[in-house]
Structure 1
Amino acid sequence: MRTTSELAQEATFGQMLRHHRKRQGMTQRQLADLSEISLRAIRDLESGRVTHPRRATTEMLGSALRIQGQSLAQFLGLALDTREEHPDRRLPGMPPPAALTSLIGRDAEAAFVLERLRTDQRLVTLTGIPGVGKTRLALEIARHHFESNDTVVWWVPSPDAVPGGHSDAGTPAGAGGISHLDPQEIQATLGGRRSLLVLDGTEGTGPNVRWLLDVLAVCPSLSVLSTNRTPLSVPGEWVVPVSPLAVPEPAGHERDSLMRVDSVRLLIEQIKRHRPARDLPLSELETIAGICRALDGHPQAIEQAGLSCMVESLDDILHRVTDDPLSLPMAGPQRDSSTTLRRVLTRSLSALDPSSLSVLRQLSGLDGEWELPEASRRLGQATESFVAQVRTLVQLGWLRSTTQALPRFRTLRLVDPLLA
């Protein structure tokens, strides 16, 4: 068997990373937890998809793997990249903040957006209702880019965003905070390097949009990821609706199947943050599943339900959210203690134009899931305007959709009481 020193003479960084990880008897997940580097970044490094991580990332991995002396020098050396940016050439932004929670149930969305940003998509907007996790998903995408050194990352936070949490995006933010910068100066700073600008809580006002289009035109190596309740509605924009997490069916689940449902996993994680860790019996898992169904998989509402378990039983929480799921508070620096999910969703719903609101109210009267031709027939709507309204409601996050060849839709259960 070759020594580490012999292997380092011809190995790639990914091969050496895998070598050291296996020597320590670690799985990729264990290394991710110990190093605080994302599991996706470690997978990309070991597979060779990313070849030159940032020095800080490499040092964190080396520390977690207990690499020392000459082996550490070789390990760090394999990660060196002649494209390493110099301080005087960095954008005047900030790296993405560290996440305060793990990301649950967004792997497919994150991978999908990352792949498009790596190829030909230069403007992506994550849309959805308040508290659904747009900021947290954007943070995962940005952190992956930052850790892997695929791009220079420029993170522009919303004033009301909670790092690692959810943004309400209710105040002017995003591009409004940097639109004084000249696009030509940004291009000179980038020097042709692939870069990602993240605008968390973008306010789609005229000046912001014009500035953003100018930057994209002048800086061909720059991509933009924005989060907002609504699309920016500009040429070339790719809109990715962020829906609430999947919820379990009302009955017929075994323990293992429940533990694989994203909303259930999130609530269990929150419960274990606030109560001593212990195994949950099937009866409690069924109660947890009921809470997730009552909250329709809404991430921030589920986090608040998990916080309530410090002083309430799971049964009490289930009764409360079944009676009134919209009564849960919505935490955030721009919200007072009286701000509930009902208040936040009502404010967001009031921003819909009258025609979209009318269509949403009609669709909420349909039972279960439906296909567009079926809804059109049942509601007596066969116009292009109706199809466009449904598409808008999907983009805004008021409708859930499947990924089948012929998608099926349903209105969010949380919205039904507001439309009654």
Structure 2
Amino acid sequence: MDADNAEFAVAAPALTAEQTFGMVLRTHRVAAGLTQEELSELSCLSVRAIRNMEIGRTGRPQRQSVVLLANALGLSDSVLDELLRTGRRVRPERPACPGAEARPEERDTRCELPADAPELFGRAGLVERIEEHLLAPSGPAGPAILTGQPGAGKTALAVHVAHRVRTRFPDGQIFVDAQGPRCEPMSADAVLGRVLRSLGVTDPPRRAEERSALLRAMLSTRRVIVVVDNVGGEAQVRSLLPAAARSALILVGRCPLPALPQGRTWQVDELGTADGLALLAGVAGARRVADEPAEARAIVEQCGGLPLAVRIAGCWLAARPHRGLHALTNLLADAPGRLERLQVGDLSVRSSIAAHHRDLGARDMPTVRLLAAREREGGFDAADVAALTGGDTARGQEIIDNLVHHQLATVTVGGGRLLCRLYPLPALYSTYCAPRGQDAGGTPTRAIRRVASGAPQHLPAFSVITGRVRA
């Protein structure tokens, strides 16, 4: 470091690490005769990122960001090393947490986030709104909750947003899959322990209440973002809620989580036709999609507009450059075998739907199969469900509420009635792929087969297998 900067650093011993780094950065920028906008252009960092560093909002910048700034400012290697050390200094006001290793350099660079998607189609508005929530000047007021039908791309969206804001949470970016290796949900205590270990806690307290208190204390003095995937209920993640607005929490729920305080929920829907075609072209090739536009639109429709399904279809085509889009359209036209076709490598639409279906519970599964096996344009209401099952409308409404809660159906208003419509691919799963046999509800498989085969029933047909994708 040159003499002026060395004198500057010594002259401010009482400043925190964030302020010292920000003020040193500003000194170098002013000495170079650059504005924040000009430094942004030279370093490829945003003006907002540079401003946050200089005012101390970003206390521990990523090493890559510091290197980019140093190169843009023309700093020598020795000055760069000093700048890196300045940015990594431990804040003196931060208390040590029992059981945690006091190695801030390791915490600062820890990123557990999966690889970011190269491009998300049709999600720009959602990304902007979620970022605004997480980066509010006063900090996120509560968790950001993403929910939607299976295969809608909730996890990809959460990971993408976390990557975009990770420089604002330099003390750690943690990713937890709350679904165990055998598809069973992790307990709340297991999720809590997983996050503590990621934060460096090697000897956590024995009592669950003490472990939760330790995590709150750590998150209140650090800037950490935690992403939890496959959340099945509020109890599973309640202990992760930060006590202060320094850290952020993104929850990907297989159902809404309304009981979490101050949670902000975003519904992740299927893609419109144009965005679905753009995704298919990005994976399979723009020329192939342009050469067979009708078949491309059919594939997006057969995939229910779900990003996961469309991406798998694109991968199938990319692996078979000698096959036309019409070949895949013909294969997906076979409704009973469609979900078997929509899997490649470790990507599977069927597995994604199965997790939501298990959450539904054995009591309602037979009724869902009966509903999925018939077609009725527009949907069905509680009276239709009651007529099919022989129950009352209250029970019929309970089944509809359960379907909507577990993201297997949506509700619209038609003819002055609330009408429920099963999502197309979950409907296929219920009809052809769900576990068979005598159910807890007492409805044997033969009754479902009779409905699916077209035997007369009180409930007229409704269109779920050929549901249209919203434009």
User: What is the aligned partner in structure 1 of residue 126 from structure 2?
Assistant: 109
Question: CA RMSD for the aligned pairs?
Answer: 4.9
Tell me, yes or no, if structure 1 residue 266 matches structure 2 residue 286.
no
User: What is the aligned partner in structure 2 of residue 88 from structure 1?
Assistant: 103
Tell me, yes or no, if structure 1 residue 142 matches structure 2 residue 150.
no
Q: How far has the Cα of 1:300 moved from its partner?
A: 2.0
TM-score, length-normalised on structure 2?
A: 0.58
Tell me, yes or no, if structure 1 residue 306 matches structure 2 residue 321.
no
User: What is the aligned partner in structure 1 of residue 185 from structure 2?
Assistant: 172
> Compared with structure 1, are the counterparts of its residues 103 and 59 closer, same or farther at alpha carbon in structure 2 (3 Å cutoff)?
farther
Tell me, yes or no, if structure 1 residue 69 matches structure 2 residue 74.
yes
Of 320, 326, 350, the residue aligned with 2:339 is 326
Q: How far has the Cα of 1:105 moved from its partner?
A: 2.2
Q: Residues of 2 paired with 1:410 and 1:80: CA distance?
A: 58
Tell me, yes or no, if structure 1 residue 126 matches structure 2 residue 146.
yes
User: What is the aligned partner in structure 2 of residue 156 from structure 1?
Assistant: 175
Q: Residues of 2 paired with 1:345 and 1:135: CA distance?
A: 14
Q: Residues of 2 paired with 1:293 and 1:170: CA distance?
A: 29
> Aligned letter for 2:127?
A
User: What is the aligned partner in structure 2 of residue 55 from structure 1?
Assistant: 62
Q: Secondary structure at the match of 1:414?
A: helix
Q: How far has the Cα of 1:316 moved from its partner?
A: 0.3
Q: How far has the Cα of 1:136 moved from its partner?
A: 0.9
> Compared with structure 1, are the counterparts of its residues 319 and 78 closer, same or farther at alpha carbon in structure 2 (3 Å cutoff)?
farther
Q: Residues of 2 paired with 1:11 and 1:104: CA distance?
A: 35
Q: Residues of 1 paired with 2:79 and 2:187: CA distance?
A: 41
Q: Residues of 2 paired with 1:153 and 1:174: CA distance?
A: 23
Q: Secondary structure at the match of 1:58?
A: helix
User: What is the aligned partner in structure 2 of residue 186 from structure 1?
Assistant: 215
Q: Which moved more, 1:78-87 or 1:287-296?
A: 78-87
Q: Residues of 1 paired with 2:358 and 2:164: CA distance?
A: 36
Tell me, yes or no, if structure 1 residue 411 matches structure 2 residue 437.
no
Q: How far has the Cα of 1:293 moved from its partner?
A: 0.9
- Structure whose CA Rg is larger: 2
Query: Which residues in structure 2 correspond to 1:233-382 (within 5 Å)?
Result: 234-236=259-261, 237-246=263-272, 248=273, 261-272=274-285, 279-280=287-288, 282-309=290-317, 310-311=319-320, 312-324=323-335, 325-331=338-344, 341-342=349-350, 345-346=353-354, 348-353=356-361, 354-355=363-364, 358=367, 365-368=375-378
Q: Secondary structure at the match of 2:305?
A: coil
User: What is the aligned partner in structure 2 of residue 256 from structure 1?
Assistant: none
Q: How far has the Cα of 1:152 moved from its partner?
A: 4.2
> Aligned letter for 1:240?
W
Q: Secondary structure at the match of 1:245?
A: coil
Mapped contact 1:104–1:265 kept (Cα < 8 A): yes
Q: How far has the Cα of 1:329 moved from its partner?
A: 4.2
- Provide, for residues 105-163 of structure 1, a one-character-per-residue CA deviation record: whole Å limited to 9, x for no partner: 2222222222233445412332334433222111012112213x2564431332879xx
Q: How far has the Cα of 1:11 moved from its partner?
A: 2.4
Q: Residues of 1 paired with 2:339 and 2:382: CA distance?
A: 30
TM-score, length-normalised on structure 1?
A: 0.64
> Aligned letter for 1:192?
T
Mapped contact 2:229–2:252 kept (Cα < 8 A): yes
